[in-house]
A and B are shown apart, each in its own frame.
Chain A
Amino acid sequence: AQTVTQSQPEMSVQEAETVTLSCTYDTSESDYYLFWYKQPPSRQMILVIRQEAYKQQNATENRFSVNFQKAAKSFSLKISDSQLGDAAMYFCAYRSANTGNQFYFGTGTSLTVIP
């Protein structure tokens, strides 16, 4: 089974600064999809950004962007101009393009935004 590793259980960032959350994964597949989900204190899971493995271009969504390094199996999330509302748990997730419907989640990174 694929594994997803988030090596930073906790991170903090000053408001308006930039922070990068790390994610690595292990797979033998060449075609797959990667996601970052945000879980604020309300506990609702919200999709932040998605990356297709076949695309070399890094995905961006407003202040959120990824650094996707396929050879290194790395998928980090960069949050620019951090806001208080960005404080949440962030989960990295993997979905195979070939083997069905299962998602594999990392253990999460708790992000604190300091005013």
Chain B
Amino acid sequence: DTAVSQTPKYLVTQMGNDKSIKCEQNLGHDTMYWYKQDSKKFLKIMFSYNNKELIINETVPNRFSPKSPDKAHLNLHINSLELGDSAVYFCASSQAGPGREQYFGPGTRLTVT
């Protein structure tokens, strides 16, 4: 049973296209996150939702739009893709409350050509 799943795992697309990455967790967690990991492996928080409400929105181009239809899903839609968007995108979830670790999805490697 996959705790946090992401689809697709690999995504190759051309500049200017619009794409979405889906994330689902079956852990019953309240909070979900999107991270971007660049080629140097640096993990950067992008967004966080708690009970479908946006609570963290770091400095991210507005071409990136998260959508949380329910507590178990947090999708990431990217408009007008650019070369610099190439990275691995991780979805994660955690239970609210102190000390709770994050559970990560397998990541989506996005390549923009």
Contacts and interface: CB of A to CB of B under 8 A. Distances in A.
Contacts of B94: 101, 103
Interface string B94-107: 10101111111011
Interface in B22-58: 31, 33, 40-43, 45, 48, 50, 55-56
Given A100-B55, A101-B50, A102-B48, A47 B101 contact: yes
Contact of A43 (B31, B33, B102, B107): B107
B106 A44 contact: yes
A18 B85 CA distance: 38
A95 B13 CA distance: 35
Interface residues of B, number: 26
Nearest to B35: A105
Given A100-B55, A101-B48, A31 B98 contact: yes
Interface in A20-37: 31, 33, 35, 37
Contacts of A52: 99
**Chain A interface mostly helix, strand, loop or mixed?**
strand
B101 A101 contact: no
Interface of A: 31, 33, 35, 37, 39, 42-45, 47, 50, 52, 89, 91, 93, 95-98, 100-103, 105, 107-108, 110
Interface of B: 31, 33, 40-43, 45, 48, 50, 55-56, 88, 90, 92, 94, 96, 98-104, 106-107, 109
